[in-house]
Amino acid sequence: MRERMRNRPSSGGDSAQPAEIALWIVTIAGCLGLAALARATAGQGWNPLPAMSGGLPFTAGRRPGVSPASLSAPAVAAVVAVAAWRGVHTWLRWVPLLIASYVAALGWAVALAVGSAHPGALAVGTAHPGLAGALAVGASTASDGHLPDGPAAADAGLTALLRTFTEHTGAGGYGARAHPPGPTLLVWLLAQLGITTPIALGAVLTALGAATVPLVAVAVRSLCHETAARRLVPVLLLAPWALWTAASVDAVTAALGAAFVTLGVVGSEPGRRLWWAAACGLLLGVATLFDYAMPWLGATVVAAYFVRRRPLLNVITGGCFLVPLSLLSLWGFSWPDGLAAARAQAAHTAAQAGLAGAATLPEPLARLPVGLAVVLVACGPVIIRAARRIRLTPGWPFLVGAVPAILFGMLTGLAATAPEHSWLPFYCWLVVPALAPDPRPNGPGDTARAGPLPLALTTAGALTAIITQALLPTTPPVP
C-alpha cells in the first residue's frame, strides 16, 4: 500500500500552483469587475453584489482585535497543513483516516466560527441565516433563550404545519424562502429530543454537517480510487466553504447529499446488494425535502449506474426516492407547489433588494459573474486545478450532478440572496477533479496513479477562509 502511495506521476503540477493561484485571483477580480460594470450600466439602485454580505454564524457583537479565539482557525489550519505535508493521509489506515477527517472538519468549522466572535457570542447563534430561517417557521425563541415547549408546530400539529408551509413561504428568513420543510422538521425533531437552546441546536447542526468530508472521501474512493480519495481529504478539510458550515442547515443538507451519493456510488459496485440502491433513493428523497436543487445532484447516481452498467438500480432508486415525497404529500405538503412558491418569493425578495437584474441584461445572465465569484471564493484556488483536469477525472459523474444544481439556483433565483449558503451541498464535488492524474492513466481501472496533493493551493484556500472570516461584516442579513 505505501509503495503504491509513493507512485506519483511526474506531472510538474507543483510548479504550476503559483500560476493557478494567480489565475484564480484574476478570475475573481474579473467576475467582480463585470458585476460592478453591470451595476453601473443598470443604475437605479440595482445591486448585483449581495453575495457573502451576511456575516458568519455567531458574529453579532464581535470585537475587533486579536484574541485566543481568533487564533483558533490559523492553529487548526497549521496542524492540518503540517499533517498533509508529512503525508499522514497517505499512510494512515482508511477507517482511522475517515474518523480523523471528521474530527478535523468539525474542528475547522468550529474554529472559524468561534474565531469570528468574542467570548459569549455563541448565544446569538440564531443569527446565522440557515438556522434563523428554520427557526422562523418552526419555532419562536422565548426570552430565556429556550424554545417554548418545542416548536410552534407541536402546538398546531405537524400536519397543519406542512399544509400551511407553502402559504407562509415568505414569513421566515433565507432558510424558509429557499428550502422545503426539511430544515424546519429537523429543528422540530431536535426540539422533541430536548435540544432547544440555540447553542445546542447549532452544535448538533455543526456535528451533522462535518460528516460530509468522510462521506465524500468514501464516494471518491469508490468511483476514482483510494489514492485520489486520500489526497482529496486535506483539500476538503481546509476548504474555504467551511466558513458557512457552523450551525447551518445547509451543511446538514450537504451531509445528506453526500450520504445518498455515497450509497449510490458504493452500491453500484459489482456484487453489492440491491438494498444499497433502495437506501440511496430514500435518502435522496429526504435530501430533496431539504433543498429544491437536490434532485440535480441525483444525476450523479444515475451517471454512476451508467458507468457501472447497472441500469436496473435506477428503477429501485427512483421508486424509493418518491417515498418521502409521497408521505409529505399525504401530510399536506406538495413539493412542486413549494418550489413554485419559493421561486415567486425569491423573485419578490430580489426585487425589493435591488437584485432583480439590469434593464439591458437578462436576469440570470446578470447573476452569473457574482455567482461564479462566490464559487471561486468558496472552493479556493484548487478549483482552478480542478477545472484544468476535468477531462482526466474518472469522477466526472460528481460534476454531472453538482454543476447543474448550482446553475439551477442561479437561474431560478433561489440562491440570489445567499448563494454561499445555498450551494454548500455542491462545493465539495467541484474540487474532485483536482486530484485527477496528469497525464491520464494507461488504461481504465488504474488505481496506482493520482494527481499529487496541491498543498500550496490547499494552504491558500485555508488562508482565504481566514482572511474572509476577518473581512466579512458582523451584522447578519435581514431575514
Which one is predicted more confidently, 431 or 178?
431
* pLDDT at residue 195, as a whole number: 81
* pLDDT at residue 313, as a whole number: 94
Query: Averaged over 39-61, what is the pLDDT?
Result: 49
Query: Averaged over 267-276, what is the pLDDT?
Result: 92
Provide the grid cell at 409. Answer: 439556483
* pLDDT at residue 124, as a whole number: 35
Assign 105 a pLDDT band (cuts: 50, 70, 90).
Answer: very high
Q: Give residue-wise pLDDT tens across range 164-220.
A: 777 665 555 444 556 788 888 888 788 888 887 778 888 888 999 999 999 999 999
- CA 55 – CA 33 distance, rounded (Å): 22
Is the pLDDT confidence value at 400 over 90?
yes
The mean predicted confidence, pLDDT, of the chain is 78
Query: Averaged over 325-347, what is the pLDDT?
Result: 83
Is the pLDDT confidence value at 291 over 70?
yes
Is the pLDDT confidence value at 7 over 50?
no
* pLDDT at residue 448, as a whole number: 62
Query: Averaged over 60-67, what is the pLDDT?
Result: 48
Residue with cell 440572496: 417
Query: Averaged over 60-65, what is the pLDDT?
Result: 45
* pLDDT at residue 323, as a whole number: 95
Which one is predicted more confidently, 37 or 30?
30
